[in-house]
Structure 1
Amino acid sequence: MTFARDTLIGDPDRLPRMPVWVTSARAETLEDVAFLSGAALNHLHLVLSRVDLPHALLRDRLALRAAEACVAFSGRPERAAELRDTVHLLRPGDLPGPAGEIYLSWRRAAERSVSIKALHRALPQYPPETLAIWLDAGQGAPVACAAMALEAVLTQAPRADVPALILADAALAQALGWDYLLPVLAGGLKRADLRKRGDDLRLACHRAVTASALEATRLAANLARRAAHLKTVAPKLRAKGAGEAVAIFLTRDAVAPSALPLPDRAARRLCDRLVDLGAVRELTGRDTFRLYGV
């Protein structure tokens, strides 16, 4: 499904909410858990069909959450704030480090439509042929496809948590007919889940999808409201290049003033102006080396 071509438009304050029974129901069997995850995905699919949703921004923010989860799985201390600093304040020639590489892999995987070429760009350490085999390892319903792809990677490369989760989300997107990978599994799984196999792993994936779909719909509603406000105040911005700057804010989780198409001082003034208008937030709490986001 190509969300960008759909025509579902409406008040961002009225994005449909996940039915309470989807997340409150107590399910123990694989059949019951699969039913709930299917309902959650159906609802998320409906939300993603809205053209007033900043899709690229949603994927980028979910990529940060997925990266944060994967960094925690690896036992490293970096969290969202440190990951943002590592990537968005990276200077030419600098290396992002292990945590930064995880974050960059997720961002690259989510920013382009699902394809072996895009996955190889995110995971260049693996040959395209290997990625294709892993992506097509799953059969059946979408979550089952994702779980089987996850298991296929981890069976061959037990320590490759990040590639496994990226391929699993890609398999899920492909099975659902989504053009883009939406990072959902990593944020809902526990580290111990990655050592499960067979039905136990499928059960964990169904539960992870249900929980993450709920979080994704909440985040989508929040970003839709904030994006609508940013678009409302955009005509008030007089700086040359302000329109391009707004477009950047609508696609990226965090933006450094230096990434905007304006001179340095003008970029900082524009960011401060957008904060004053309530259209973006300053994300670091610092006086220097600031980052801004919707």
Structure 2
Amino acid sequence: MTSLVPDISDAYETLPHLPAWVTQGHRETPEDVAYLSGATLSHLHLVFTRDDVPHGLLRERLALRAAELGVTHSGRPERAPDLRDAVNLLRDGDLPGPAGEVYLAWRRAVERPISVASLHRALPGHALEALELWLAAGQGAPVARAAGVLEAVLAEAPRAHLAALILADAALAQALGWSHLVPLLSIGLKRADLRLTGAQLHLACHRALHIAGIEAVQLLTDLTRRTARLRAVAPKLRAKGAAEAVALFLTRDAVAPTALPLPDRAARRLCDRLVQLGAIRELTGRDTFRLYGV
């Protein structure tokens, strides 16, 4: 019996795996922690230079993860499915709610190259001049620079956790030569870590980057495999607007059929077809108001 899904064995080159001594390394001393975080960042930098990985989709998934953790730390009950609904099912004139605003901030922070203007778009509640000063507050190597930004923001605005984490991850990305912000510190840091200063905060940032970097590499490996499958089945699609729809799925965490450049019925048929081909998944488990993603 012929498979519905084309062979994708040659569709992408397997990404290099993190060695076991990094993923299973013991963070027993400050030197161990710094060494392992450096090794993890070096590996991330290596895979981020590749053209065959879905950079935009990775940033979107990590933005969702960062938003979920931030909302959890603030004591709110919303989780990833709720955040997806809050943003992707918005209608004109609707408000996303406090948790949805956090998710929107992260999405805006990761979707454009880093600049003070793009960060202000994500954090409109803070003055452009303040964001510029905070982003320049860190000095030294990448992790020290990011920790310095984190500390500077929270010293001036102790409750501005969202701004502090977005700016710290932006400073880290800039120091590493990345064009876009990648949520890492925001995923690895614990709420209690945000009360630390000086050397203790630097150490917490190293520990956080080791943890979050491993998660990011594992996610990127999975997304690269999944997007290769989507690209492989794309030539089988005959619907007008299918190419534009595939482009959305390759860059967005979740897509509602109504967001696709097709009539409603055609959009739902295309989503069902892509699910049948194993190229995307239905993310909600609902019969109505469905969302789809790689």
Which TM-score tier does this pair reach, normalised by the shorter chain?
over 0.9
Q: Is the 8 A contact 1:12 1:221 kept in 2?
A: no
Measured against aligned partners, the alpha-carbon deviations of 1:229-269 in whole angstroms (never above 9, x if no partner) come to 10110011111000000000001000000000000110011
**1:7 paired residue number:** none
**2:5 paired residue number:** none
Give me the identity figure in percent: 69
Q: Is the counterpart of residue 132 in structure 1 residue 105 in structure 2?
A: no
**2:228 paired residue number:** 228
Q: Which amino acid aligns with 1:184?
A: L
Q: Is the 8 A contact 2:173 2:181 kept in 1?
A: yes
Q: CA deviation at 1:199?
A: 1.1
Q: Is the counterpart of residue 155 in structure 1 residue 152 in structure 2?
A: no
Runs of 4+ residues over 6 Å off in structure 1:
none
CA distance in 1: counterparts of 2:181 and 2:159, whole angstroms: 22
Q: CA deviation at 1:12?
A: 3.7
**1:218 paired residue number:** 218
Q: Is the 8 A contact 1:67 1:106 kept in 2?
A: yes
Deviates more, 1:67-76 or 1:23-32: 23-32
Q: CA deviation at 1:94?
A: 0.4
Distance 1:33 1:11, change over 3 A: farther
Q: Is the 8 A contact 2:188 2:208 kept in 1?
A: yes
**1:123 paired residue number:** 123
Q: Is the 8 A contact 2:11 2:228 kept in 1?
A: no
Q: Is the 8 A contact 1:13 1:225 kept in 2?
A: no
**1:272 paired residue number:** 272
Q: CA deviation at 1:73?
A: 1.1
Q: Is the 8 A contact 2:58 2:223 kept in 1?
A: yes
Listed as ranges, the matches of 1:87-98 within 5 Å are 87-98=87-98
**1:76 paired residue number:** 76
Q: CA deviation at 1:28?
A: 3.2
Q: Is the counterpart of residue 100 in structure 1 residue 100 in structure 2?
A: yes
Q: CA deviation at 1:167?
A: 0.2
**1:4 paired residue number:** none
TM-score by length of 2: 0.95
Q: Is the 8 A contact 1:13 1:221 kept in 2?
A: no
Q: Is the 8 A contact 1:281 1:292 kept in 2?
A: yes
CA distance in 2: counterparts of 1:31 and 1:91, whole angstroms: 51
CA distance in 2: counterparts of 1:262 and 1:225, whole angstroms: 26
CA distance in 2: counterparts of 1:11 and 1:286, whole angstroms: 32
Q: Which amino acid aligns with 1:238?
A: R
Q: CA deviation at 1:30?
A: 2.6
Q: Is the counterpart of residue 109 in structure 1 residue 115 in structure 2?
A: no
CA distance in 2: counterparts of 1:156 and 1:212, whole angstroms: 26
Q: Is the 8 A contact 2:56 2:251 kept in 1?
A: yes
Q: Which amino acid aligns with 1:31?
A: E
Measured against aligned partners, the alpha-carbon deviations of 1:9-42 in whole angstroms (never above 9, x if no partner) come to x864620111111132223333331111111000
Q: Which amino acid aligns with 2:148?
A: M
Measured against aligned partners, the alpha-carbon deviations of 1:39-82 in whole angstroms (never above 9, x if no partner) come to 10000111111111111111001000000010011110100000
Gaps of 5+ in 1: 1-9
Measured against aligned partners, the alpha-carbon deviations of 1:177-222 in whole angstroms (never above 9, x if no partner) come to 0000001111111111111111111111101101111110111111
CA distance in 1: counterparts of 2:179 and 2:239, whole angstroms: 35
**1:185 paired residue number:** 185
TM-score by length of 1: 0.95
CA distance in 2: counterparts of 1:68 and 1:265, whole angstroms: 32
**2:7 paired residue number:** none
Q: Is the 8 A contact 2:258 2:264 kept in 1?
A: yes
Q: Secondary structure at the match of 2:124?
A: coil
**2:15 paired residue number:** 15
Q: Is the 8 A contact 2:169 2:182 kept in 1?
A: yes
Deviates more, 1:167-176 or 1:21-30: 21-30
Q: CA deviation at 1:127?
A: 1.2
How many residues are aligned here? Answer: 285
CA distance in 2: counterparts of 1:105 and 1:230, whole angstroms: 28
Measured against aligned partners, the alpha-carbon deviations of 1:111-144 in whole angstroms (never above 9, x if no partner) come to 0000001000000111111101111111111111
RMSD over aligned Cα atoms: 1.1
Q: Is the counterpart of residue 38 in structure 1 residue 38 in structure 2?
A: yes
CA distance in 1: counterparts of 2:98 and 2:147, whole angstroms: 25
**1:5 paired residue number:** none
**2:4 paired residue number:** none
Q: Secondary structure at the match of 1:14?
A: coil
